[in-house]
Structure 1
Amino acid sequence: MGRRRAASDMSTTVGTLRITVAALMHACGETQTELAERIGITQGQLSRKQSGLAAWSLTDIDNLSTHYGVPVPDLVAGPTHAVSKLDRRRLATVGRRQQVIAV
């Protein structure tokens, strides 16, 4: 039987954070490379965190909060809630693929 990743869905805080980060990146039109650079990690590190192979540190979460302008409690409240807390001007100014998504 294969090893199950604990962060595979929204049943855990870590899983919720992974889904939330993906939703925020999509809403802002950011790539993993762009986000990683802005929060001070490599794209490979971000990929491992997003796939559940590495853990988000408290510093990472603080950096995500600062980058998106979304308080930490809102980041872990889920993707719909976190995206709703984004400054709407950010959706129109970040990245090349602006698109508002329903999550």
Structure 2
Amino acid sequence: MDARTQADWESMGMVTLEYQRRVAKELQDHFKQKKLEEADQGPFFGFLGKNETSNGSDSCKWAIFGFAAGLLTEYATGVSFVQQLKILLSNFGIIDLE
């Protein structure tokens, strides 16, 4: 086995696994710190990018859309929200309510 040290490999311009791990760890720490600093700046409430990211962004929007569509359907048809869920699960074959 070669008795060279990490510094020897780096001085020769070689990239070792230890070097890659150390740099990756430093990058992770840097971006964690940067994210914490950004979270402390600016308004806390409102339609901001950081708030939408922390709230789940697209999945949250789709859940709210589904809930709103269910309420509008309840208003238009008179079928309750719970009954709509039962019909949906029955139509998809998840449970048998008949």
Normalised TM-score (structure 2): 0.27
Q: Which has the higher helix share?
A: 2
Structure of greater relative contact order (alpha carbons < 8 Å, 6+ residues apart): 1
Normalised TM-score (structure 1): 0.26
Structure number with greater Rg is 2
